[in-house]
Amino acid sequence: MKFLSGLLFAASVAFALPTSVVDASAESAVIAERACYVQCGSKCYTSSQVSAARSAAYQYLQSGDTAGSSTYPHKYNNYEGFDFLVSGTYYEFPLLTSGTYSGGSPGADRVVINSSGQRAGEITHTGASGNNFVACSGW
Ligand SMILES: *[C@@H]1O[C@H](CO)[C@@H](O)[C@H](O)[C@H]1NC(C)=O
C-alpha cells in the first residue's frame, strides 16, 4: 500500500511537472505584457513614460510654449476619427522611450491630450500609411 501511494505520487509529479513549466512561461508572458502599458508598433512604454510626455505637453500648452524650436505640442485634428478617451480639442506631443521630447526629430509615436491636459490616447505613424496615424494599444 505504501509502495502504491509512493508510485501514484511519483506519477502525479511526473505528469504535473510539464504542466507547471508551461504555466510558468505563460505567466511570465502575461507579466511582460502588463509591463507594456502602451505599445506603439513594437515599442513598449511604461505608464510613467506616457504620463511624463503628457505632463510635459500640458506644461508647454499652459505656458503657450513649444519644445525647443519644434512645433510640439500642436493641435491634432483627428482626421483619422479616433474614439479618444476624452473630448477635444486635442494636442499631440512626441512620446519617447527615454526622457521627454525637447525638440528635433519627433519619432513615430505621440501622446494626445485635450486642452485640460487629460489623456486622450496614444497614436503612432508606425504601421500607418503616409502621414496618417494608427492607434497604439493600451487605451
Ligand atoms: C477634457 O476631457 C475631460 C474629460 O472628458 C473633460 O471633462 C474636459 O472638459 C475636457 N476639456 C476640454 C477643454 O474640452
pLDDT in tens, 6-65: 444 444 444 444 444 555 555 555 544 456 899 999 999 999 999 999 999 999 999 999
Cα 121 to averaged position of ligand 1 atoms, centre (Å): 13
Domains of the chain (ranges; CATH) run 38-135 (3.10.450.30)
- Ligand 1 pocket member 87 (CB < 6 A): yes
CA distances from 5 to 20, 102, 108 (A): 22, 68, 62
The answer to whether residues 39 and 45 touch, using CB atoms and an 8 Å cutoff, is yes
Confidence (pLDDT) at 34? 54
Q: What is the pLDDT of residues 49-104, one digit of tens each?
A: 999 999 999 999 999 999 999 999 999 999 999 999 999 999 999 999 999 999 99
Confidence (pLDDT) at 12? 46
- Ligand 1 pocket member 115 (CB < 6 A): yes
Q: What pTM was estimated for this model as a whole?
A: 0.78
The answer to whether residues 125 and 108 touch, using CB atoms and an 8 Å cutoff, is yes
Confidence (pLDDT) at 27? 53
Alpha helices in 36-91 (DSSP H): 47-63
Q: Choose which residue among 58, 87, 115 to substitute to test ligand 1 binding: the one with the highest number of ligand atoms within 8 A of its C-beta.
A: 87
Confidence (pLDDT) at 28? 53
Strands 74-76 and 43-45 turn out to be: unpaired
Q: Work out the average pLDDT over 105-115.
A: 98
* Closest to 93 (Cα-Cα) out of 81, 80, 76: 76
